């Protein structure tokens, strides 16, 4: 795999061992966390026959009951039109914020066999993604 040039954004789809380790080191163990998702869809999903957006919609439908089962919820979903301040060439199609009651609830969902059975739809759909763990500032 070649190293991206400084002006080329690095692509990322799935979490790594390092990102899980950092999650436990940096995100608070107690209280809700909000996951900011930046999503860029493939024109055609890897598994063929549908667009990336269609494959992601299938993933979203399948993940909804799993999200609810751990007490999570979609807080906000929007189409992205223009990355006003971003590296050249970085574009996004959707922005999504999902809230979980805790870091543990998020991890439990991701590690569940039911989630593992559907995550391929997400991977097939995305050209690029960011998943940023956040917590709200006190009011």
- pLDDT category at 9 given cuts 50, 70, 90 is low
Helix 52-69 vs helix 103-111: angle between axes, to the nearest 10 degrees? 120
CB-CB contact of 14 with 123 (8 Å): yes
CATH 3.30.160.60 fits 31-134, yes or no: no
pLDDT digits (tens, 9 = 90+) for 67-117: 999 999 999 999 999 999 988 889 999 999 999 999 999 999 999 999 999
Average pLDDT over residues 120-139: 93
First to last CA, the chain: 45
Domain ranges of the chain: 31-134
Tokens of 89: 């060439």
| Residue 19 banded pLDDT, cuts 50, 70, 90 | confident
Q: Which of 39, 11, 15, 13 is nearest to 27 (CA)?
A: 15
pTM: 0.87
Specify the pLDDT at position 1: 47
For residue range 20-67, what is the model confidence (pLDDT) as tens digits?
898 889 898 999 999 999 999 999 998 778 999 999 999 999 999 999
The token pair that represents 13 in the structure block = 């789809």
Number of DSSP helices (H) and strands (E) in the chain, helices first: 5, 4
Q: Tell me what pLDDT residue 2 has.
A: 46
Beta-bridge partners for 38: 95, 130
Query: Is 41 strand, coil or helix?
Result: strand
Q: Can you tell me the distance from the alpha carbon of 74 to that of 131, in angstroms, rounded to the nearest whole number?
A: 14
């Amino acid at each position: 795999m070649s190293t991206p040039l400084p002006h080329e954004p690095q692509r990322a789809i799935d979490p790594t061992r390092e990102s899980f380790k950092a999650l436990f080191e940096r995100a608070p163990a107690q209280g809700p966390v909000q996951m900011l998702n930046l999503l860029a869809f493939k024109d055609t999903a890897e598994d063929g026959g549908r667009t990336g957006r269609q494959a992601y919609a299938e993933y979203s439908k399948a993940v909804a009951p799993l999200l609810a089962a751990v007490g999570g919820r979609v807080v906000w979903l929007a189409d992205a039109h223009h990355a006003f301040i971003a590296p050249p060439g970085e574009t996004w199609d959707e922005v999504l914020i999902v809230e979980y009651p805790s870091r543990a609830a998020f991890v439990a969902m991701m590690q569940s066999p039911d989630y593992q059975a559907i995550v391929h739809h997400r991977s097939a759909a995305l050209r690029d993604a960011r998943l940023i763990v956040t917590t709200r500032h006190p009011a």
